[in-house]
Amino acid sequence: MPLNKYLRSLSALLVPFIILFVFFGSILKNPGNYFFAPGGDGLKSYFGSYYHLKYDEKLWHSVNQNYPYGESVFYGDSQPFITNILILLKNAGLDLSDDLVAILNLLMLFSIVFGAYILYFLLRKLGLPYLYSLLVASVIAFLSPQLDRLGGHFSLSYVFMIPLFLYLYYRFF
């Protein structure tokens, strides 16, 4: 790959990151001190994830709701793919449960940057010009309706999922 392609790929990460820092800079500075939703479903998502990470013994079953039997971690929006990785790390000796809010907040925010990055590559594969692809990918990612889910349904707020699906679908067919 020539140097020009590397610089363009780097700029496809840098531009969305700058936009992210402009809009969410105060959260990025202290991600553990901010709740996207301090009540309702957002608080339930934070609590479900924290309880699952801190106290549950099984990876796919949580007892924080539906007493006394518990239920699947998916129903409580406990973000099992993230919390289960953190549980495995905790079992290996690295306990990050006190930093869970920061980890969740950063993952949700950086999913916007990753979504713009994937969209950039999809637009370039479709033959669109570099600057157009860069700007449109960033605009689409930051205007994504998935950002509305930051108000409560965190499992639905990961912006990169739909662009990743579209990119892989394009590459497959």
Maximum Cα–Cα distance across the chain:
60
Q: How many Cβ atoms sit within 10 Å of the Cβ of residue 26?
A: 11
Look up the pTM and report it: 0.90
| Structural domain count of the chain | 1
Q: Are the CB atoms for 102 and 29 separated by under 8 Å?
A: no
Give the type of residue at 153: H
HEC secondary structure over 24-83? HHHHHHCHHHCCCCCCHHHHHHHHHHHHHHHCCCCCCEECCCCCCCCEECCCCCCCHHHH
Dihedral of CA atoms 100, 22, 120, 1 in degrees, nearest 10, equals -90
**4: helix, strand or coil:** helix
SS3 content of the chain, % helix, strand, coil (to 5): 70, 0, 30
Distance CA 86, CA 2 (A): 38
Question: Which residue range is the domain that position 80 belongs to?
Answer: 3-172
Residues composing the chain: 173
pLDDT (tens, 9 = 90+) of the chain, 173 residues, equals 566 888 988 999 999 999 999 999 999 999 999 998 888 888 888 988 999 999 888 888 888 888 788 888 888 788 889 999 999 999 999 999 999 999 999 999 999 999 999 999 999 999 999 999 999 999 999 999 988 888 888 888 999 999 999 999 999 98
Question: Taking the CA of residue 64 as centre, how many other CA atoms within 13 Å lie in the half-sphere pointing to its CB?
Answer: 24
**Which residues are CB-contacts of 9 (< 8 A; sequence separation ≥ 6)?**
none
